[in-house]
Amino acid sequence: MNRTQHRPPDPAVEQADAWSPFEARARFRAGLSGPTAGFAAGHTQANLVSVPADWAYDMLLFCQRNPKPCPVLDVTDAGSWTTVLADGADLRTDLPRYRVWEHGELVEEPTDVVSHWRGDLVSFLIGCSFTFEWALTEAGVPMRHIEQGRNVSMYVTSRQCRPAGRLHGPMVVSMRPVPPQHVATAIRETGLLPAVHGGPVYCGDPGGLGIEDLGRPDFGDPVVPEPDDIPVFWACGVTPQAAVMASRPPFAITHAPGRMFITDARDEQYRVA
């Protein structure tokens, strides 16, 4: 496989790893809309899914029954756009990009959802694997998508989640190519962070997850591996979006894949050892 050209550095996100969560959220509020991998080093990132209150119990039960792809960090009161995970943040404006869903169909991808917000929406903040990338980097595991200036690759799998009420759907995974000598380290380091998906769900031949072509991810960007890299797959917080598409609730708001909510929480708060 020929190596794809890396993207040139983006001046708008230079030294984004050194930004505070407050600064990152302020930039998103002002219109910065790209992927958040590598932003605000040491701070936990989260997926967002907001559903009407009469679907909230189904979503909570879905997350409880599928903790690998859907580890819940916070649940808001109906209509609230604040979270204990970030003082003063606004869930309607402080993510880089959103998705608005009607009856399971994507209808818009705005940079804020103030005009779409409803008084009955309950928001779920779900752990994100971008959080554990700092542990992997510190342990010497290369992050190919960050090296290449790309969003992480995400795939819909053939594995079905355990259904809950009206919600059902397939598990989504993120994939990172890992050199063979680093696979054991990647498994160990991520296993210590179960609140942000924990250890991998699968390594090796993508066909075992029903993935036909790694070069054509369902979400995110294709990432070019080194010749000996092994594809390693982690459960992904885009799974609730797959459930929205499959279950067709009348309305939902989510983050756009790879464009996360950056919290004030420190990564080490979620490390179990």
CA-CA distance, 156 to 154, in Å (whole number)? 7
| Contact (Cβ atoms closer than 8 angstroms) between residue 40 and residue 257 | no
Cα distances (angstroms) measured from residue 156 to each of 19, 69, 105, 171, 174: 32, 12, 16, 6, 9
Give CA–CA dist 12/9, Å, rounded.
9
Mean pLDDT for the stretch of residues 181-206? 96
pLDDT tens per residue, range 112-167: 999 999 999 999 999 999 888 888 999 999 999 989 989 999 999 999 999 999 99
Q: CB count, 10 Å around CB of 103? A: 12
Q: pLDDT at residue 21 above 60?
A: yes
Shortest CA distance to 260 belongs to which of 237, 235, 239?
A: 237
Structure tokens at 205: 């031949």
Q: Express as a percent the part of the chain with pLDDT over 90.
A: 85
Region 22-30 average pLDDT: 96
CATH topology for 17-128+248-268? Answer: PSTPO5379-like (3.40.1640)
pLDDT band (50, 70, 90) for residue 10: low
pLDDT tens column, 34-93 = 899 889 988 999 999 999 999 999 999 999 999 999 999 999 999 999 999 999 999 999
> What is the distance between the alpha carbons of residues 161 and 129, in angstroms, rounded to a whole number?
18
Q: In whole angstroms, what is the distance from residue 14 CA to residue 75 CA?
A: 32
CATH homologous superfamily of domain 133-235?
Answer: PSTPO5379-like domain (3.30.2040.10)
* Cα gap 160→120, rounded to integer Å: 29
Residue 6's pLDDT band, with cuts at 50, 70 and 90, is very low
Per-residue pLDDT tens for 232-244? 999 999 999 999 9
Kindly list the domain boundaries of the chain, sorted by start residue. Answer: 17-128+248-268, 133-235
Q: What is the mean pLDDT of the chain?
A: 93
Does residue 5 register a pLDDT over 90?
A: no
**Fold equal for 17-128+248-268 and 133-235:** no
pTM score, whole prediction:
0.90
Question: Quick one: 167 exposed, middle or buried, by C-beta within 10 A (0-12, 13-18, 19+)?
Answer: buried
Which residues, listed in sequence order, are joined to residue 100 by a DSSP beta bridge? Answer: 108, 253
